[in-house]
């Protein structure tokens, strides 16, 4: 799966949020100053070519809808991110964040609890 550009990802986030809609519906989701209709139309067409968006004819226009769930994209993006920046090792990524001074003790404790819950869950499966 391809990684989306920032502009494509932003348009997809709005489309995921509204579930389906016309290009003008996606444009409405942007903050002021809103991008040009034609700019969003171009981004949506690129997303369609990449296989992220489908369309359905309605009168003389199209309704667009996501072909991939946001959660599925996020998982694949994270796997790609870990592969590129952490030698395909989630352990290395977590370790890097764990040594980051911006991660509070409380955050680390929450992560430990989360991982312990996941370990316990896997042991009972």
Per-residue pLDDT at 51: 95
Q: How far are the Cα atoms of 100, 103, 109, 122 from residue 113, in angstroms, in the given order?
A: 19, 15, 6, 14
Q: Are residues 100 and 61 in the same domain?
A: no
Residues 55 and 105 in one domain: no
What gap in Å lies between CA 46 and CA 16, rounded to an integer?
Answer: 16
Query: What's the CATH code of the domain at 45?
Result: 1.10.10.10
Same domain, 59 and 92: no
Residue by residue, pLDDT tens for the chain (125 residues) are: 688 999 999 999 999 999 999 999 999 999 999 999 999 999 999 999 999 999 999 999 999 999 999 999 999 888 888 888 888 888 888 888 777 667 788 888 898 899 899 999 888 88
pLDDT for the residue 100: 67
- Structure confidence at residue 69 (pLDDT): 95
Q: State yes or no: cis peptide before 33, omega within 30 of 0.
A: yes
**What is the structure's pLDDT at 125?**
81
Q: Which residues pair with 80 in a beta bridge?
A: none
Q: Would you put residue 90 in left (φ > 0), alpha (ψ -120 to 50) or beta? A: alpha
The whole-number pLDDT of residue 25 equals: 97
Could you tell me the residue range of the domain that residue 61 belongs to? 6-66
Instruction: Please give the pLDDT value at position 42.
Output: 98
The model carries a pTM of 0.76
């Amino acid at each position: 799966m391809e990684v989306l550009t920032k502009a494509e990802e932003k348009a997809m986030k709005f489309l995921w949020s509204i579930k389906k809609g016309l290009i003008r519906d996606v444009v409405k989701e942007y903050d002021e100053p809103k991008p040009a209709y034609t700019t969003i139309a171009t981004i949506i067409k690129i997303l369609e070519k990449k296989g992220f968006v489908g369309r359905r004819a309605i009168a003389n226009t199209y309704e667009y809808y996501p072909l991939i769930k946001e959660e599925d994209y996020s998982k694949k993006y994270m796997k790609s991110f870990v592969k590129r920046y952490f030698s395909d090792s989630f352990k290395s990524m977590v370790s890097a964040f764990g040594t980051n001074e911006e991660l509070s003790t409380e955050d680390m404790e929450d992560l430990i609890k989360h991982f312990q819950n996941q370990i316990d869950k896997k042991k009972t499966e």
